[in-house]
Structure formats: structure tokens, C-alpha cells
């Protein structure tokens, strides 16, 4: 435990700053925070009695990235933003394995994207010239610009941080998929499972049930991995997907259906009250009807953090491993992975 609490910089979806602060405060204790609505990030420093360690990014729901920043520079001169940043880094004297220049995931951040790309090249060049870039160094540098004349400077061990700039995996929509919702399951499997877990738990020939499957965006991801899927929905399924021979379509109620024997996977993206979905998943896991589940919880407009915690506690009552994240491809929802007891 360090003597002082780290000043934390957390990236999040614009509009969910309050939930991000609620979550980090629940984890570390009371503290000082700044969270402007729509900013796409928050800062937080725990009070004297709070926990000091940097939270594991995998344990956070609403934060895409969690960094300890050591400098916040404002009023950067437009003609030379690099000089004050390099001055701070030179005085610190730490070498970095890489440097990422980032902006929030909001409209202002999107406008800064060309600047971030060009400034990133300039920063890498300056670090090399100052001999502060070393591929063997233990930490990666982050320069986060919420606006063009302000920057937060942070460093992090790559093993303990999200491995994508802005904490966002960039996925391309597959043209063969029946709907864009396919990206939610693709991202969920990438973010909530590690490489070894995907290899062990998503093997060809495994069985799955997709509740609320029509037209087949999530089923498509499972079929792509050669799983056999029972698609539950009163709506139609994509014809090409059905021609794969790996899908059985049943027009029945997703809340009433149960398989005759246990399946490996249950996935669910039904538009329903989150508590009802959490109860359904908890029952499947508790009954041993599935081994793994990945599902979405559509959050209400108010008390979203409280609702998420209540629903996750219900799932945890029958599961031994529960992980949740608000994904880039989510909106007013979170995606959850659960493994049966």
C-alpha cells in the first residue's frame, strides 16, 4: 500500500460519468471526484482512509480504462503543446514501452482524433530523442486530451490495463451477419473472457441456446465458432444462417423454454426488465441448465448503478464467477458473463 492515494483517470461512455464515480467510490471508499456530464471520463482520488491500490480494469463495469495519472497540464500553448509535456516527462525520468495519445469517446473527442494521431507520432519521436522510449520498460505512457489545450499524463503496466486505445476494441461489422447486434456478443467474448478461456470454453461442437435470437446476430457469432445453437424466438431467423445446419429454430417463449438436457452456453439479448432477465439467468445456472451464460441487462434511466448491482447480486447467488462491462457496442445496458457453480 502506497502512502498516498493515486489520482485516477477513468474512461467511460459519455453520459455514464455518475455511474463510473459511484462504482469507483464503492470500491475504494469516499474520495474527491470530477465528473462532468457527457465528458466521457472521470477523475477520482480516494480520501485518506480509502484504499490505495489501482483497481483491476477487469473488475470495473462502467470504466473502460483505469489509469493513475501523475500530471494534469492545462492551457497548453497551441503553437507548442509538446514542450511542456516533454518537460514534465524529462523531469520524471521514467522510460516507457510505448505511448498512446487518446481523447474521450464523445463528439469533442472524435473531433480531436486527427490531432491525436499526428501528436502521437510527434510524442514518440520526442521520447526516442530523449531516450525515454524502451520496449523493455515495464509501463506504457498515456497522454489523454479531454480538449486540445489540456492533457492528463498517466503510466500503467500493460498487464493491468485494457489493451486497446481508449479501452475500446475496434471491431469490423461482418457483412454476413444478420444484424449489428452481432458486435455486442463478439466484443463481450473478447472483453469478458481471456484468450485461454475462449479456447477452452468455445470449442467446435459445443451446444448453445440463444434466447430472443431473431434475426440471428448473436447466433451468427456462435455458428461462426462452430457451436450448435437452438435459437428461441417467435420472430424469423436469417435464411443463410439456418442453411448452416447448425441452428434449430423454436418459436416459443424465451422465459418458459428449458432444454431437455444441459447445454454449454446460454446467450440472451432480450429487451426486457433487467431484474426479470437476471432472475431467468440465475435460474438457468442454479438448475444446471447451462455451464456458461453471456447476456445483456437493459438499465433503467434512473439509479442505473443500483439496478446493475441488484441484478448482478441475484446472478451471483447461483454462479461462481460473474463479470460485467458496459461495452462500446452497448448503449443503455451492460453485458454480463457468468459461469455456473
DSSP one-letter code for 7: E
What Å distances lie between residue 68 and 155, 235, 277, CA to CA? 7, 48, 36
User: What nine digits make up the cell of 173?
Assistant: 461489422
- Report which of 155, 137, 159, 148 is spatially closest to residue 100, judged by C-alpha positions: 155
CB atoms within 10 A of CB 149: 13
Q: How far apart are CA 296 and CA 183, in angstroms?
A: 13
Q: How far apart are CA 328 and CA 6, in angstroms?
A: 26
Say which residue the cell 426486457 belongs to. 272
User: What nine digits make up the cell of 53?
Assistant: 491500490
Contacts of 36 (CB under 8 A, 6+ apart): 17
Judge contact between 35 and 21, C-beta under 8 A: yes
Tell me if residue 184 falls in helix, strand or coil: helix
Give the active site residue among 128, 261, 298, 302: 298
Active-site residue, 261 included: no
Judge contact between 265 and 247, C-beta under 8 A: no
Q: How far apart are CA 203 and CA 185, in angstroms?
A: 16
What Å distances lie between residue 190 and 13, 162, 184, 206, 329, CA to CA? 18, 11, 10, 18, 12
User: What nine digits make up the cell of 140?
Assistant: 506504457
CB atoms within 10 A of CB 280: 21
Q: How far apart are CA 307 and CA 323, in angstroms?
A: 15
By the 10 Å C-beta count (0-12 exposed, 13-18 middle, 19+ buried), 41 is classed as buried
Catalytic annotation, residues: 298
Amino acid at each position: 500500500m502506497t502512502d498516498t492515494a493515486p489520482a485516477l483517470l477513468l474512461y467511460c461512455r459519455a453520459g455514464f460519468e455518475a455511474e463510473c464515480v459511484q462504482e469507483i467510490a464503492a470500491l475504494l471508499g469516499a474520495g474527491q471526484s470530477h465528473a462532468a456530464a457527457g465528458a466521457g471520463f472521470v477523475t477520482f482520488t480516494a480520501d485518506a482512509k480509502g484504499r490505495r491500490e489501482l483497481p483491476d480494469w477487469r473488475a470495473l463495469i462502467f470504466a473502460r480504462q483505469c489509469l493513475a495519472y501523475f500530471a494534469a497540464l492545462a492551457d497548453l500553448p497551441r503553437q507548442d503543446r509538446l514542450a511542456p509535456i516533454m518537460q514534465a516527462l524529462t523531469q520524471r525520468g521514467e522510460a516507457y514501452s510505448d505511448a498512446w495519445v487518446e481523447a474521450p469517446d464523445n463528439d469533442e473527442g472524435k473531433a480531436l482524433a486527427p490531432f491525436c494521431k499526428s501528436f502521437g507520432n510527434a510524442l514518440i519521436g520526442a521520447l526516442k530523442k530523449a531516450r525515454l522510449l524502451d520496449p523493455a520498460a515495464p509501463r506504457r505512457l498515456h497522454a489523454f486530451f479531454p480538449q486540445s489545450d489540456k492533457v492528463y499524463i498517466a503510466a500503467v503496466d500493460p498487464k493491468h490495463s485494457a489493451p486497446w486505445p481508449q479501452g475500446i476494441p475496434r471491431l469490423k461489422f461482418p457483412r454476413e451477419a444478420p444484424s449489428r447486434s452481432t458486435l455486442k456478443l463478439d466484443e463481450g467474448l473478447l472483453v469478458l473472457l481471456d484468450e485461454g478461456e475462449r479456447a477452452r470454453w468455445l470449442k467446435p461442437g459445443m451446444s448453445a441456446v440463444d434466447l430472443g435470437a431473431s434475426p440471428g446476430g448473436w447466433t451468427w457469432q456462435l455458428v461462426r465458432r462452430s457451436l450448435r445453437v437452438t435459437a428461441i424466438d417467435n420472430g424469423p431467423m436469417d435464411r443463410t444462417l439456418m442453411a448452416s445446419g447448425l441452428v434449430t429454430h423454436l418459436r416459443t417463449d424465451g422465459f418458459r423454454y428449458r432444454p431437455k438436457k444441459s447445454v454449454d452456453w446460454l446467450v440472451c439479448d432480450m429487451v426486457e426488465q433487467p431484474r426479470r432477465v437476471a432472475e431467468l439467468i440465475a435460474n438457468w445456472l442454479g438448475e444446471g441448465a447451462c455451464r456458461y451464460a453471456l447476456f445483456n441487462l437493459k438499465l433503467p434511466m434512473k439509479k442505473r448503478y443500483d439496478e446493475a448491482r441488484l441484478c448482478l447480486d441475484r446472478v451471483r447467488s447461483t454462479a461462481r464467477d460473474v463479470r460485467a462491462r458496459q461495452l462500446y457496442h452497448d448503449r443503455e445496458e451492460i453485458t454480463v458473463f457468468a459461469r455456473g457453480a
